[in-house]
Structure 1
């Protein structure tokens, strides 16, 4: 397991539709999204095995949701991790919209599924 020596950095990478978390300059994980009108639809979160167990997914999602708030957007937690995070962090509940069949159909079309 890699031990982090500095605080992780989270950046939004619009060209790749995701937020990335970096540890010592190396990408340790990501949370992917697509924007639909004024909603950011999060659909996948992962942390590389080398960085597991360090709480990085929580840091990543928290900072991503802080960015959503700062950007004046709302979000839809399709990603199971983001949905689980939301249950423990009710301070973001005011920004969340429900996952609906319409959103899922739209997301599948966006992702070419």
Structure 2
């Protein structure tokens, strides 16, 4: 699924300064690889970030995020977490934010997603 920056926020590309997903050669895609318990973000077909989870009956235990060092500091991980949590909300799934980054992202930066945290 290709998302526009207006849909998910804008992050800058480290090499060109253009927002990710904009410009003549930039495509930004998010994929949910449910069979692997993974979400990933690709820019121009290149994987730049992943988020891994373990599927439980009514929740996802989010255990790990990774961002390519070349694009760290440009909001890539934040965009991927937001996309993942929007997908969880759409599917009616709660989350267990075991990953420290996701826990911080929800509790400290984006309280509007706190309702997704499983009891």
TM superposition score category, shorter chain reference: 0.7 to 0.9
Q: Point out the structure with the larger helix share.
A: 1
CA deviation map 1:29-51 (0-9, x unaligned)? 10000111110110000101122
CA deviation map 1:7-57 (0-9, x unaligned)? 532111112211001111110010000111110110000101122121100
Q: Which residue of 2 aligns with 1:101?
A: none
Structure 2: how far apart are the matches of 1:81 and 1:46?
10
* Equivalent of residue 71 in structure 1, options 91, 109, 118: 91
Is 2:79 aligned against 1:42?
no
Shift of 1:97: 1.9
Structure 2: how far apart are the matches of 1:95 and 1:24?
31
Indicate if the aligned counterparts of 2:53 and 2:61 stay in contact, CA closer than 8 A.
yes
CA deviation map 1:61-110 (0-9, x unaligned)? 00000000001110000000100110211111111025xxxxxxxxxxxx
Q: Which residue of 2 aligns with 1:97?
A: 118
Runs of 4+ in 1 over 2 A off after TM superposition: 1-8
Q: Which residue of 1 aligns with 2:105?
A: 85
Give TM-score scaled by structure 1 length. Answer: 0.80
Q: Which residue of 1 aligns with 2:50?
A: 30
Gaps in structure 1 of 5+ consecutive residues = 99-113
